[in-house]
Structure 1
Amino acid sequence: MSNLPSTPQSQPPETPPWDTPSSRWFSPISTPWRTTPRSRQSTPTPTTPKALTEVIVSKSPLSQKSLATPTHDGIESQPLNDTMVPLRLRTNRTNPWIWCGAALCFIFSILLIIFGIATLVLFLALRPRTPVFDVSNAKLNTIYFESPVYFNGDMLLLLNFTNPNKKLGVRFDHLSVELWFSDKKIATQGVLPFKQGNGKTRLEPIRLISNLVFLPVNHLVELKRQVMTNQINYEIRSLFRVRAVLGIIHYSYWLHGSCQLQLASPPTGGLISRNCTTKKW
């Protein structure tokens, strides 16, 4: 029997090198392959006891979208530690004087509201009306010219003050009456203060004297012309303060009266016509 060459036995395949895509992508070249995963537990940091006035608030630097720890090719990454922020609580109390001031302000506001409502109710119940100023009668006694720019005059007026309120008394003070001709004041006279009951009328006579009053040439020429035509136009202006009284409630306001007068020439000097108005100042 011939000796046949022995068939070589099959050898096991060699182990492929550890050069895989995962090792090529995620493993550093300068370090060997790690087979032991990282520990999931981080080293605990020592904590110090906190005071009772502090609260620990944890703030995560990143939004925690998933609770699982992210992995890369079987290697788990180390979880992120939370940031601990201490907050100190306020322990001091509010000053009692602040509470007292707040209470006083609240009481004052309530009293102010009540007073405003009471005033509104009284106003609607009484409906106060404005007193009326009028000229009942007038007489021009004298008017003559001293020089081309000066003249003298004498006039009597009977003033009429009426209080139309039915439940409210008034007081008139700081009264002044002025005589004007062509927007030029030629005489003035004051009136003493007086009281007037509800629904009452008072007649007050006064005398207006013009003594050597200067008038521009054009005004003096116009006055002479009106004396010749027997129709002299004057204006009466009055300013006075009215004080209304209702028990302990007092309020005041100013009134302005105006009357357009037309008088005859002296010596008759009677009142021909008048037109009076009273307005709040």
Structure 2
Amino acid sequence: MPAVFKKKLETHRRQGRTNPLIWLAAILCTIIAIGVVIAGIVVFIAYLVIHPRVPVISISNAHLDLLRNDYAGLLQTQLTIIVRARNGNAKAHATFSDITFNISFQGQGIALLVADSFQVPKNSTKDLNYVVQSSSIPLTPDQMEKVDYSWKKNEIAFDFKGNARTQWRIGPVGSVKFLCRLNCQLKFHPLNGSYIPNRCTSKSK
């Protein structure tokens, strides 16, 4: 009986041993997890050291080149718009991509503006120059009244909405990305086409 008990005990001990491959897999997973955490900490520290200003897009200037409406309720317009991309980071270049802007008047679409990806050097700016010429836009009676009123008070507004993706590269360890959203009105004096400056700068997240 003692011999049988000893044999059963030894069998139980052999079954309880962990396969070395499982230990190896656990060690590798731990090393990978630690590496990911360290990389994240390095990126965060680098971001704090750089302490950058978030890239922004804004309207730096504009002009109303043409505004014409007739008794049939058709509106023609041409706008010159300068969009400025600013990178306030003194230690890293910024890449702007997926750039799209919409211009409309009283809910009527006028134009869709796009741009290819580009890079803005450290602590610098880049201007995008757009000349927007619309075809004849049919207006509702209510919209026609608003255009007439705009002529009388010498002020007209167009809605300008859009966004762009921006990215900083922090050395070889990673990057910081933002989404810049722009939503404002472009106001003009229709009698001479001059732009009425207002704060039209993107918000980032």
Length-normalised TM-score, structure 2: 0.86
Counterparts of 1:141-220 in structure 2, within 5 Å, are 141-145=65-69, 148-220=72-144
Contact in 1 for aligned 2:93/2:122 (Cα 8 Å): yes
Residue 256 of structure 1 corresponds to which residue in structure 2?
Answer: 181
Counterparts of 1:23-172 in structure 2, within 5 Å, are 50-54=4-8, 89-92=12-15, 93-145=17-69, 148-172=72-96
Q: Hey, what's the Cα distance between the residues in 2 that align with 1:91 and 1:167?
A: 60
Residue 240 of structure 1 corresponds to which residue in structure 2?
Answer: 164
Deviation string 1:78-128 (CA, Å, 9 cap, x unpaired) is xxxxxxxxxx73423322221111111111121122112211211110123
Unaligned segments of structure 1, at least 5 residues = 1-46, 56-87
Q: Hey, what's the Cα distance between the residues in 2 that align with 1:246 and 1:214?
A: 50
Residue 35 of structure 1 corresponds to which residue in structure 2?
Answer: none
Q: Which structure carries more relative contact order (alpha carbon 8 Å, separation 6+)? A: 2
- Number of matched pairs: 203
Q: Hey, what's the Cα distance between the residues in 2 that align with 1:54 and 1:141?
A: 97
Which residue identity does 2:14 align to in structure 1? Answer: T
Which residue identity does 1:255 align to in structure 2? Answer: C
Let me know the Cα RMSD of the aligned residues: 2.4
SS in 1 for 2:190: coil
**If each structure's helix is expressed as a fraction of its own residues, which one has the higher value?**
2
Unaligned segments of structure 2, at least 5 residues = none
Structure 2 CA distance for partners of 1:150 and 1:53, relative to 1, 3 Å: farther
Identity, % of aligned pairs? 23
**Segment drifting more, 224-233 vs 214-223:** 214-223
**If each structure's strand is expressed as a fraction of its own residues, which one has the higher value?**
2
Structure 2 CA distance for partners of 1:48 and 1:176, relative to 1, 3 Å: closer
Q: Which structure is larger by alpha-carbon Rg, 1 or 2?
A: 1
Which residue identity does 1:254 align to in structure 2? Answer: L
Residue 85 of structure 1 corresponds to which residue in structure 2?
Answer: none
